[in-house]
Amino acid sequence: LPSAPASSHPPAPPAMEDAYAKSVAEVLQAFGVDRTKGLSDSQVRG
């Protein structure tokens, strides 16, 4: 089978169905977010 075409989008962040049970630091790390800067434009557009 042919491989899927390469995506121009970065990979989606991990699902956080249990984010309520995580610390703020764990959630920020999972989504690659800087606490002082917030989301980048590309992260918001996802």
Q: What is the pTM of this model?
A: 0.53
Per-residue pLDDT band for 7 (boundaries 50, 70, 90) equals: low
pLDDT digits 0-9 by tens, 9-43: 666 656 778 888 999 999 899 888 899 998 888 87
Report in angstroms the alpha-carbon separations of 21 from 10, 11, 24, 30, 33. 26, 24, 10, 13, 18
Please state, in angstroms and rounded to a whole number, the distance separating the CA atoms of residues 42 and 23.
24
Please state, in angstroms and rounded to a whole number, the distance separating the CA atoms of residues 1 and 20.
41
Domain residue spans of the chain: 22-46
Helix or strand run (H / E) with residue 29: helix 24-31
Please state, in angstroms and rounded to a whole number, the distance separating the CA atoms of residues 13 and 24.
16
